[in-house]
Amino acid sequence: MSDTRFDAIVIGSGIAGLRASIEMARGGARLAILTKDGPTDSSSDKAQGGLAAVLSDDDEVSLHYEDTLRAGDGLCHEAAVRVLVEEGPALALELIEWGARFDHEGARLALGREGAHSKRRILHAHGDSTGREIVRALVEKVRQTPGIVLLPRMFSIDLILAGGRCAGLLALDERTDTPVALSAPALVLATGGVGQVYAETTNPPQATGDGMVMAYRAGAEMMDMEFVQFHPTALCLPGVPRFLLSEAMRGEGGRLLNASGERFMVRVDERAELAPRDVVARGIVAEMRRSGHACVYLDMTARDAAFVRERFPNIAATCARYGLDIARDRVPVAPCAHYIMGGVKTDLWGRTSIPGLYAAGEAACTGVHGANRLASNSLLEGLVFGARAGRAVLGDRPVAIAADVAAGGAESVRSIDRASSAAVVAGLRRLMSAEAGILRNAAGLARAVRGILDLEGGLGERPVSREGVEARNLLFAGRLIAESALRREESRGSHYREDFPGPEPGRGRHSIIAPGAPAPDLPRVEVHDFI
């Protein structure tokens, strides 16, 4: 490609990356958005449930704030939560101004309710395709905004550092299968999560933790990597990919039943099906263990059939392909890896510990979600902190520093070859699901760490490929999760230790992973501090 110098580079085209890009371009920056595949291939695009924001007269920002803190189980950064709930409504209305078509009931916005929310405050679009509608509107806005270049099929390999700050990016142009070095004084990581580290996940194939691992390898601090949220209700059929059944289904009256047709969640929590996700997921696992059954069932039959199919058209169509009518049948479900609360440690403006490097969305960790994300706060987080990261880049006015890296530098990057990467990743996913899933203990987490090290030790060196780099990134993301979970000897939010079933007294402490120096060889992780 001929043009490789920009004012800023954004990696990722989910809600956080798109919103950051628009903010910077409106301030006069010239920037590039890099995506591994197409501009709509992201977790944001797949989000069903909705966008949480206080937009009705019978709701209050203070209630959204309290709900978020309660779900976060004593670990939320309260200042981040206040930013989220206070700035969210105006940005949601801005989306509407930009053409996002949310569902209405007459002239009013239709607001749904989900688990652990005290009010109906969830914006949704086309019933259960909210993320897709938001991404559509933002991509259209990006294409209308001068100064933004969309670069699809650009696979990010490593950050370029110069003078102690981020100066650009080494990438693989998959359109031509050639390496390229891009330079910019500011780089925003909006690369999403790490769901593909588990055998069963709702995340798209692109969620391989690339941004987090690149940042750590460059020397950035990481935070709270042990906190992985498992969505309670993913479609559970033999040989069928896990498909998310939105939390909004339970918000609209869906009940969880065991194999005997009993509502078991009423015995687990007074909020029953509307308890926080970590509570519901553990309740389902406990019931599956008790009954010896491979799933439980989501039952919407108490609601009007026409309403159910109209409210959840995408879910209804997907289930129908497998012979299930969500309005008439009990749908088999089980928990599935969904979202990581941890990530690259940032301040409230997306700044990381490396000058010139910013992060937003699921790849970042402001502490806003604490130990367990409140339903539908993820799209809101991408919107709010994506915009903030864009404003921070404009306000910081970072200065470009020449980096002594040529495009040919990718030739020195080594990874496993395509043939062996699939086997390595399959082994990692089995290991993480068995030992670092919903229920954890010291022996299992230690086995996970040893197993990952064994997998790493068996890798051969080959010329760089996307499959190989993704495999290495997944291995290291798995190690960050497992070692952080092993160090946290308590149960809090989504992190449940069978050998430490209660929380430590008082408010929770954040786990900080701080590399001593840039680490291209991926040294052993040590969670060295709690704050």
Q: What per-residue string of b and e applies to 428-457 under the rule 16 or more CB within 10 Å gives b? A: bbebbbebbbbbbbeebbebbbebbeebbe
Say if residues 20 and 387 touch (Cβ distance below 8 Å). yes
User: Which of 277, 440, 466, 472 is labelled catalytic?
Assistant: 277
Task: Report the C-alpha gap between 284 and 275 in whole angstroms.
Answer: 12
Cα angle value 37/39/43 (rounded, 5°): 85
Give the E-state strand segments of 136-284 in sequence order: 148-151, 154-162, 165-173, 178-183, 187-189, 222-223, 228-235, 255-257
Closest CA to 203 of 238, 232, 244: 244
Return the SS3 of 440: strand
Q: What is the DSSP letter of 272?
A: G
Percentage helix, strand, coil, to 5, in the chain?
40, 20, 40
Q: Determine whether 277 is an active site residue.
A: yes
CB atoms closer than 10 angstroms to residue 170: 23
110 to 54, 127, 143, 251, 327: CA distances (angstroms): 12, 10, 29, 13, 21
What single-letter DSSP state applies at residue 5? B
Q: Distance (Å, rounded) from C-alpha 500 to C-alpha 25?
A: 49
Q: Of 43, 77, 78, give the one whose Cα is nearest residue 203.
A: 43
Instruction: Using CB atoms within 10 Å of the CB of residue 289, give its burial: 0 to 12 exposed, 13 to 18 middle, 19+ buried.
Output: exposed
How far is it, in rounded angstroms, from Cα 229 to Cα 70? Answer: 15
- Other CB atoms within a 10 A radius of the CB of residue 351 amount to 19
| Nearest of 11, 12, 10, 5 to residue 21 by alpha carbon | 10
Sign for the pseudo-dihedral over CA of 209, 89, 59, 66: positive
How many Cα atoms occupy the beta-carbon half-sphere of 212 within 13 Å?
35
CA distances from 324 to 316, 320, 331 (A): 8, 5, 7
Residue 43 parent element (H or E)? helix 43-46
* Catalytic sites, residue numbers: 277
